[in-house]
Chain A
Amino acid sequence: MLTPGLGMDVPRHKPLVMVETTNNRGFTPDEIAQHCVNKIISVSDNAHPAIRDQARAFSSQIQKVLASHMQEAVRNDRITVYNALKDAGHPQLAELIRRL
């Protein structure tokens, strides 16, 4: 009698991972917030429409909150770097950082 074996092959022509890239910059807080939300919340296309819509609305709201706080973190970190550079005697470099 034949028995079915365990399967562990992967779909050959369906991307298994996503790749995102940037040119001449890093990811923006908005982009990182989107990556973050995608990790936290996943919404099935097969979910009940009412639940799916609610989940997507929640996801969108969380994305905005995350982006806002990430922008705040960047601003605060720049203030820290600005002061460190200024204290080290590099006021012009500090000013460049502050204006980014």
Chain B
Amino acid sequence: MAFDGNFMCTSFKKELLEAKHNFLATGGHQFKLALYNNDASFDADTTAYTSTNEVGNTGTYEAGGGDLTNVNPTTSGTTAFTDFDAAADLEFTDATITAYGALIYNSTTSGNPAVLVLDFDGAKTSTNGTFKIIMPTDDANSAIIRIETPVAP
């Protein structure tokens, strides 16, 4: 199997309606990003973090991945959005990693429920170096999690 695109996990959408995720910068949940090799097979049906096919411990990378920093959700027009790491991106140093994608999940809520599958569009490799994940701009057009009103037909 392999990564085949980005997916907002369907279970995450349901869990939002059940108040199982809190993205507030203060008092919110801890979200994490874990890296995976190309044997991982995630899609919209992915429901939780798994260590299967996760890259090994190396440098500052440890099983479970790195902590993301929440950004307070906000709105622009009719779009609500939130993002991670407003000031500093997540990076792993002194690391030898080959990853094809990542899973963002909630490590506070029981069961480590999945949020988002990220496809890196090929292998990304660091050798005894730094592996840095740069999050998109935190705005209504680019933020990583957005709830939008579709244009009426």
Contact = CB atoms under 8 A, between A and B. Distances in A.
B29 to A, nearest CB: 18
B132 A8 contact: no
> How many A residues are at the interface, by size bracket?
20 to 34
B89 A21 contact: no
Interface of B is mostly: strand
Interface string B130-153: 111111110000001111111111
A8 B150 contact: no
Contact of A22 (B129, B133, B150): B129
Contacts, number: 95
A11 interface: yes
A7 interface: yes
B54 interface: no
B6 A12 contact: yes
Interface residues of B, number: 40
A18 to B, nearest CB: 4
Given A10-B7, A12-B6, A35-B89, A19 B124 contact: yes
A40 to B, nearest CB: 10
Contacts of A14: 6
Nearest to A15: B121
30 contacts: A4-B151, A4-B152, A6-B147, A7-B150, A8-B8, A13-B119, A14-B6, A15-B120, A15-B121, A16-B144, A17-B118, A17-B133, A17-B135, A17-B144, A18-B133, A18-B134, A19-B124, A20-B130, A20-B132, A21-B97, A21-B125, A22-B126, A23-B126, A23-B127, A23-B129, A24-B127, A24-B128, A25-B129, A35-B89, A35-B132
Given A4-B152, A4-B153, 15 more contacts: A7-B148, A8-B146, A8-B148, A11-B6, A13-B5, A16-B116, A17-B136, A17-B144, A19-B99, A19-B124, A19-B133, A21-B125, A22-B129, A23-B126, A23-B129
